[in-house]
Copies of this chain bind each other. A is one copy, B any other.
Amino acid sequence: MKMKNITISDIAEKLNLSRSTIDRVINNRGSVAPETKRKILDYIEKINYKPNRAAKHLSKRTSCTIGISYYLPENFAAQIRKGINDVYNELQAYGLNLIIKEAGSAEEQEKQIKQMQTEIDGLIVAPWNPKNLTELINEFIEQDLPVVTFNRDAPESKRLFYFGCDYFKAGRISGEIIEKITSKPGKIAIISNEDDLVGKKRVEGFYSILKESSIHKIIGPYTIYDHFGISDSYTDKDIDYIKKIIEDNPDLKAFYVVNQSLYLVAKVVKEMGKKDQINVIGFDLFDKFIPFINEDVIEAVICQEPYSQGYFPVRILFEMLAEDREIEKSEYITRLEVVMRENLKYYNDYHYL
């Protein structure tokens, strides 16, 4: 049970040098004679020395504060929070501090980020409106304040990396599923709202699959606005609108819904007794969706590792800040998870830590 590892002192002793000299070459600070440097480097290589992380953390006694900003639907935010919570519990002992700001609008988000600037050593942001935040992100970067994006990217900014899903590919996998489960020729209706950047990509990806050689005809996109899933904000007009699509298209075989109105579409399909004729496919796992997935009204949803989106950006950024981790990718793309009735419970609130 006793630890027996090579330490800086061992190296110093072996090489007849002082600990500080070894430290200098390992962390290349201060100046060292090139000859001694070589000697030390060679020896370190040879014995495969690994610095003790605990000692490092203890000695540095440097804490870093990471700011997190997002404006996301509540159910999704809950999963993100769980990931953030776990990584915080894991790393706060090593000096991680977090400032979490949940915005209620794009404008508020911008304001909150500006406010954080002086208090943080790094920023993690899910930019609701990437274009508008690009400049701000670049400003931070200019000032040596690292910024990473998650959930939504700001690809034109100089952010260090993006952690999140590829929405175009998400559209493709849902297209694949619809093709596989919809064997009879007929129509597929797309539901979205135009000002939804994410939804737009999901639709494009979907088209890219269906275009290839489909026996189906795409109709729409029909517009239903989602209001972050607050059910009361859907009107009777929305319901009638969906009903009308179904009635007007007797050969309708599927709904492809890229926003949270998925819940409403499922409700109408179910109430009209059309669940066996019309396949419903959508995205993400919201509480409201769950009964419909269980009843096979919604055939499948595509998820994007929300928990990981909370956990990893914090961890990677912290390791960079506190342990000089190298960022090796500019994009960490999350898995596209196919969630159906029988594997639903594994995706609804699940983690191991």
Contact = CB atoms under 8 A, between A and B. Distances in A.
Interface of A: 1-5, 50-58, 61-64, 92-95, 121, 163, 169, 172-173, 175-177, 180-181, 183-184, 209, 299, 308, 312, 316, 332-343, 346-347, 350, 352
Given A341-B176, A346-B333, A352-B316, A93 B3 contact: no
Contacts of A183: 181, 183-184
A241 B213 CA distance: 34
B335 A350 contact: yes
14 contacts: A1-B63, A1-B121, A2-B61, A5-B63, A51-B93, A53-B54, A53-B93, A54-B56, A175-B342, A180-B299, A180-B340, A183-B183, A335-B346, A338-B343
B338 A338 contact: yes
B61 A58 contact: no
Most chain B CB within 10 A, of A4, A308, A341, is at A341
Contact of A180 (B55, B173, B181, B335): B181
Contact of A308 (B55, B56, B61, B352): B352
A350 to B, nearest CB: 7
Contact of A95 (B3, B94, B121): B3
Interface centre among A1, A56, A163, A308 (most CB of B within 10 A): A1
Contact of A52 (B58, B176, B181): B58
A217 to B, nearest CB: 18
A92 B343 contact: no
B332 A336 contact: no
B121 A50 contact: no
Contacts of A209: 342
A9 to B, nearest CB: 13
A56 B94 CA distance: 11
Contact of A3 (B3, B63, B350): B63
A3 B347 contact: no
B62 A173 contact: no
Given A54-B94, A316-B352, A343 B3 contact: no
Nearest to A342: B173
Nearest to A279: B180
Contacts of A57: 54
B173 A340 contact: yes
B342 A335 contact: no
